[in-house]
Structure 1
Amino acid sequence: MPAPRVSVKTKIFELEIVLAEVRPSVRRRVQVPGEIDLAVLHEVVQSAMGWTNSHLHEFEIAGRRYGIPDPDWPAQDVTDESKGKLFRLVKQGDRFGYVYDFGDNWAHEITVDKVFTAEPGVRYPRCVAGQGACPPEDVGGIWGYEEFLVALADPSHPDHDERREWAGGEFDPHRFEPAEADRALEWLAWRPLTSTS
């Protein structure tokens, strides 16, 4: 299936994604076509933040929950995220929530900072700014992450070696590579607007 194409009518939504209550701060600023559905926005958040898409997730917009409905539990009151287009659900200035991993409960606050016309030749979605490294998967949520950082920072901590090995080596919570976060979104790329589109 060919990638969708950005047209002259495509509005680009600039979103700030902030991982709530985590220190040091973890945030990403992404630009996405407004026509994407929430299932694709989920993939954008996962890729830009550095998560591995290993757990369940859910959006909450204007008091309504969006995710992947469970056919075995139809009363769960979750709207199918693949049926919700971003531009129909939010506008500039709106804020909404995204939770990833219901065990660790990583809460993200997403703000629609700007809505603008697509630029010719620019690939969307893209990551244009950010801060901080994404916590490792299954670290135990906010409290587990704090303990993880304490153990890593102190070579004499009894869990230091185990945590370092579990993290795959050195882990810098302040590390953010803009080009790396942007490259992580390439697989979701729409065909860019051309000057003749």
Structure 2
Amino acid sequence: MSGGGVDLSMLQQLMADAGRDLFAGVFDEPTPEVGAVPERVRGFRVRVDLMYAKPPIWRRLVLPGDLMLDELHDVLQVAMGWQDGHLHKFGVGADRRTRAYFVTRFDLSEGDDGLVEDGVRLDQVVSGKGDRLFYDYDFGDGWEHVLVVEDVLDDPP
């Protein structure tokens, strides 16, 4: 302070710090919940639906539980007829606004952080009938998919 007045730069810094503390965590992305690696590999019959498509566009796949999410991306590209020319992400959580997403190697190279998809197996994010996994592809066109577990198989395919 000088001459009994308020130091404007100090006041601005205090306000900036208060704002940072006030909004700390508000814009942080939630971290996906991942289960432990199961002792035994099972198979999953899943239905993959392209959301909001009329008429419905879907596929039925039988997948091994030890399939890594980056490998599942490759499977979905072939199954849905995509050509792997766009970015993608996997997410968990029913509510779209609070869904937790995995990051890709590309995301890491862009400075993002988070749980990387190539370190997560399918059977760590789904385990029973009705479980869901979301797959977004081509963020410009917004192709959203939902994978729903229809059946859990004793053995992987």
- Count residues with an aligned counterpart: 111
Matched, 1:33 2:64: yes
Change (3 A) 1:25 1:46: same
Q: Which residue identity is paired with 1:80?
A: V
Q: How does 1:46-195 map to 2 (within 5 A)?
A: 46-62=77-93, 63-69=99-105, 70-74=107-111, 76-92=112-128, 93-118=130-155, 124=157
Contact 1:65 1:77 in 2 (8 A): no
Contact 2:125 2:133 in 1 (8 A): no
Change (3 A) 1:54 1:61: same
Gaps of 5+ in 1: 1-8, 125-197
Distance 2:114 2:136 in 1: 13
Q: Which residue identity is paired with 2:115?
A: T
How much does 1:23 deviate?
Answer: 1.1
Distance 2:149 2:91 in 1: 14
Distance 1:40 1:72 in 2: 19
Distance 2:131 2:88 in 1: 20
Matched, 1:11 2:42: yes
Distance 2:74 2:59 in 1: 14
The residue aligned with 1:158 is: none
TM-score normalized by structure 2? 0.65
How much does 1:83 deviate?
Answer: 0.5
Report sequence identity in percent: 34
Deviant stretches of 4+, over 2 Å: 69-74, 76-79
Contact 2:103 2:113 in 1 (8 A): no
TM-score normalized by structure 1? 0.52
Q: Which residue identity is paired with 1:30?
A: L
Q: Which residue identity is paired with 2:144?
A: A
Matched, 1:44 2:81: no
How much does 1:78 deviate?
Answer: 4.1
